[in-house]
Amino acid sequence: DASIYLSVRVARLGTRYVLLLAEDRTESFRLETVRRDFVANISHELKTPIGAVGLLAEALDDASDDPDQVRRFAHRLTEESHRLARITQDIIELSRLQAADAFTNAERVSANKVVSAALDQNRVAAEARGIELAVKGDKSAQVIGEEALLVTAVHNLVSNAIQYSPDDSRVGIGVRTIDGVVEIAVTDQGEGIPEDDLDRVFERFFRVDQARSRHTGGTGLGLAIVKHAVQNHGGEVRVWSQPGRGSTFTIRLPEASSVARPPIGEPT
């Protein structure tokens, strides 16, 4: 909204004048609201799995005479604890990215290495669903950044592409360099995203379909992590989508040779 938050102080100058000091506090109000929402969201997201762990532990205790039930509850307990671990890990990653000093290990990174590592991490999931992972383009490009973080960003996009696609479809990963910009595009033939939600998918904990994302084990933080990781590298991420036909997420990063500042540790 267009409100401005001001903090105002009044000082009397002699008997005739009054000094008004107004400070624009809009930005700090905004940041405080974002922080408060994040904490509220986290509490909400953690409540369900923590509650489930408690109930399952009790059920396990009661079921100790029935080996089948014990196995079933133990399995669900393991699933819920994995879910808690995933959410916690993503929250830590996102908080780290939002901190000013998130990005300390800058080095020259090849796009090829980033894409290959991200694909390796997703191969088993793709094979299990009969989804083909097809890479094309010039992968010789280099960017400056933290390799692990860039791999995480591309991994999240590929993992979503698989997650939200039908069995036996195709996920394409294209790499190209245009005018000093390295572009990594991940295209799927999945369900797509409704136009009204396109702007919101990068928000923390936003899901087009809450129930489905939770059911498939999504934390709702994957794309927020992508956005912050890419922005920390001086880049941007965009999405195009046609409901029912598929989506393309594109990461754009400055090419290494076009970055003025040399990587840390390299002679100037």
State the residues that interact with ligand ADP by CB under 6 A: 156, 160-161, 164, 188, 190-193, 201, 206-209, 213, 218-224, 247
Smallest distance from ligand ADP to CB 26, Å: 28
H/E stretch holding 19 reads strand 17-24
Angle value at C-alpha 134, between 164 and 162, nearest 5 degrees: 15
Rounded to a whole number of angstroms, the CA Rg of the chain reads 23
Question: Which lies closer to ligand ADP via its Cβ, residue 110 or residue 250?
Answer: 250
Closest CB to ligand ADP among 153 and 221?
A: 221
CB of 185 to ligand ADP, least distance (A): 12
CA distances from 17 to 7, 13, 20, 65, 234 (A): 20, 5, 10, 85, 49
Shortest distance, position 193 Cβ to ligand ADP, whole Å = 5
Cβ-based nearer residue to ligand ADP, 142 or 189? 189
Give the three-class secondary structure for 100. coil
Min separation Cβ 256 and ligand ADP, Å: 28
Closer residue to ligand ADP, CB minimum distance, 117 or 198: 198
Nearest to 160 by CA among 79, 218, 231, 99: 218
Smallest separation (angstroms) from ligand ADP to the CB of 153? 11
How many whole angstroms from its chain centre is CA 76?
26
Q: Which of 180, 191, 194, 106 is nearest to 150 (CA)?
A: 106
Residue number with CB closer to ligand ADP (144 or 161): 161
Q: Nearest approach, Cβ of 167 to ligand ADP (angstroms)?
A: 15
- Residue 44, classified by CB atoms within 10 Å of its CB into exposed (0-12), middle (13-18) or buried (19+), is exposed
- Comparing CB distances to ligand ADP, the nearer of 183 and 255 is 183
- C-beta closer to ligand ADP: residue 177 or 247: 247
Q: Which two tokens stand for residue 167?
A: 């069995």
φ and ψ at residue 144, rounded to 5 degrees: -105, 130
Measure the CA–CA gap between 13 and 18, rounded to whole angstroms: 5
**To the nearest whole angstrom, how small is the minimum distance from the Cβ of residue 217 to ligand ADP?**
8
